[in-house]
Amino acid sequence: MKAYLFPGQGAQFSGMGKDMFDKSELARDLFEKANIILGFNITKIMFEGTEDELKQTNITQPAIFLHSVIMAAVMGGTFIPQAVAGHSLGEFSALVAAKAMSFEDGLVLVSKRAQLMQKACLLTPSTMAAVLNVDDKIVEEICSRVDDIVIPANYNSPGQIVISGTINGVETAIKLLNEAGYRRILPLKVGGAFHSPLMQPASDELQKAILNTKFDTPVCPVYQNVSAEAVSNPELIKSNLVLQLTSPVLWKQSVQNMLNDGYTEFIEVGPGTALQGLVKKTDASAIVSSAIY
C-alpha cells in the first residue's frame, strides 16, 4: 500500500513551484488564488526570492504548503492516497490533500500559524538542536535533568532526535550530552523553540482558528504528529492539530505505525527528499520516491 508524505519547514528553495506554474493551468489558478488570500505576491517570492527571504517563517510555511498541495492537485488521478502524513507544517498539507479541509482554509490556517509562531519566538529567546546517534531514552533523561525548558521535539528517525527549548536549556542539555560522551549535536538555525511549551501563546491563538474551521472526514487515514496514529474523525483531527505546536513530532513512530499497518511504499509530495531519507533510516527495505506530476 502507498502512503503520501508532506514535508515541513526547511525544504524551501528559490524557484519552488515555477515549473508547475509554467506547465499547469490548475497550478496557475491556485497560485493566483493564494496571492489574493494572503494579500501579497507569494508566488514571486517563491519563484525569484533569495534564500533569506524564503527563510522568513511567514513566507516559508505558506510557500511549502502551496508547493505540496498544488503538486498533489496537479497530479490529478495519479494521486490516490491510501494514507497521508506530514511532518509538522506538512500535516496541514496532508489534511488538504486528503480533503479533510479546503485549500483556502488550509492556507489561511498555515499563514496564521506562521505569524503566531514568529510572534511567540520573539517572547523568549529559544532554539533547537539535532542530536545524532543517541538513544531516545538517554536524550529524554538528560532533558529531564535540566532546570530550564528543554524537551525532545522531533523524533525524526532512529538515531535522530531534535531538542527544543530556551537557549540556556538547550545549551545545558548539549553540555550534559557532551559530558556523557555524545558529541554529534548540531545547533539548528531556527527562530525559536518549535514543538515545545514555549509555543503555548501561539497554540492558544491558533486553537481559536482551528476550532472555527470546517473539517470533513478525510478520504484516507491521516497519521498525525501528536499521536502517530491513523485518524479519520474530524473532531479528533482538530484536537490533535491544536496540540501540535506544543507537542513533539512523533515522525519515527508514525512511520513505524504505517509500516506495521502494511504501507510499504512512501511517496514524498512537495519540495525536497528529507522525509524519504528518514523513512529509509527507519526501515531500509521501504520503497521511497518523489511525486511525479
Catalytic residue set: 88, 195
How far apart CA 141 and CA 45 sit, in angstroms, is 42
| DSSP conformation letters of 93-108 | HHHHHTTSS-HHHHHH
**Among residues 150, 157, 99, which one has the least CA distance to residue 128?**
150
Note the Cα 62 to chain centre separation in Å. Answer: 11
Pairing of strands 160-166, 150-157: antiparallel
Q: What b/e readout covers 35-62, taking b as 16+ CB neighbours within 10 angstroms?
A: eeebeeebbebbbebeeeebbebbbbbb
Residue 192 near residue 126 (C-beta atoms within 8 A):
yes
Kindly give the pairing relationship between strand 222-223 and strand 230-231.
antiparallel
Q: In what helix (H) or strand (E) does residue 150 lie, and over which residues does it extend?
A: strand 150-157
